[in-house]
């Protein structure tokens, strides 16, 4: 079931983000270290930092903590920051939050998705380019996905 959730999340993000300036976005349901950038991927994460009650019953019972990360090329630092901020924005054609919010059930795969109050993104991080020539600028969004209850 986890891979199905990750795939539905990746598909929804990819289907709801429109890139500009001839950029090709690479979205995968799992981490992929040798991807072209810009890229977005998902991984399981630590549930700390989430408010109680997101998944009901006053705790995270049943919720799956997932980190969505993105990395953008930084050869042009101004363009990299602009692209990163567009991914992190609450709305807009490149907003990851808006892509998730377009259907918090991921087409019926899960009951709901939540994230904490306030600005949900971590600060910027730098990742090395695989060939060692430069860095990728990125950030991380921690969400909680509540799977559908089995009947």
pLDDT value at residue 14: 96
Determine what percent of the chain is predicted with pLDDT higher than 70.
Answer: 86
Which run of H or of E encompasses 141?
Answer: strand 135-147
Residue 62 has pLDDT above 70, yes or no: no
For residue 115, the model assigns a pLDDT of 82
Has residue 151 got a pLDDT over 60?
no
d(CA 97, CA 101): 6
The predicted model gives 40-57 an average pLDDT of 66
Is residue 52 left, alpha or beta, with left meaning phi > 0 and alpha meaning psi from -120 to 50? beta
Q: What is the pLDDT of residue 58?
A: 38
pTM flag (> 0.75): yes
Least confidently predicted of 9-18, 37-46, 90-99: 37-46
Mean pLDDT of the chain: 85
pLDDT in tens, 98-150: 999 999 999 999 999 988 777 889 989 988 877 777 888 999 999 999 888 75
What's the rounded mean pLDDT across residues 81-97? Answer: 96
Which residues lie below 8 Å from residue 128, measured CB to CB, with a gap of 6+?
A: 134, 135, 136
Domains and CATH numbers, the chain: 2-147 (3.30.70)
């Amino acid at each position: 079931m986890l891979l199905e959730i990750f795939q539905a999340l990746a598909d929804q993000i990819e289907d709801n983000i429109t890139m500009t300036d001839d950029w090709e976005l690479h979205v995968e349901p799992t981490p992929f270290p040798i991807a072209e950038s810009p890229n977005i991927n998902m991984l399981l994460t630590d549930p700390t930092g989430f408010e109680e009650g997101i998944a009901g019953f006053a705790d995270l019972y049943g919720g799956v903590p997932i980190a969505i990360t993105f990395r953008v090329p930084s050869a042009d630092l101004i363009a990299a920051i602009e692209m990163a901020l567009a991914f992190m924005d609450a709305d807009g054609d490149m907003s990851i939050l808006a892509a998730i919010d377009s259907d918090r059930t991921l087409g019926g795969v899960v009951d709901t998705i939540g994230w904490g109050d306030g600005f949900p993104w971590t600060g910027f991080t730098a990742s090395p380019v695989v060939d060692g020539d430069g860095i990728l600028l990125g950030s991380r969004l921690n969400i909680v996905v509540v799977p559908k209850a089995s009947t």
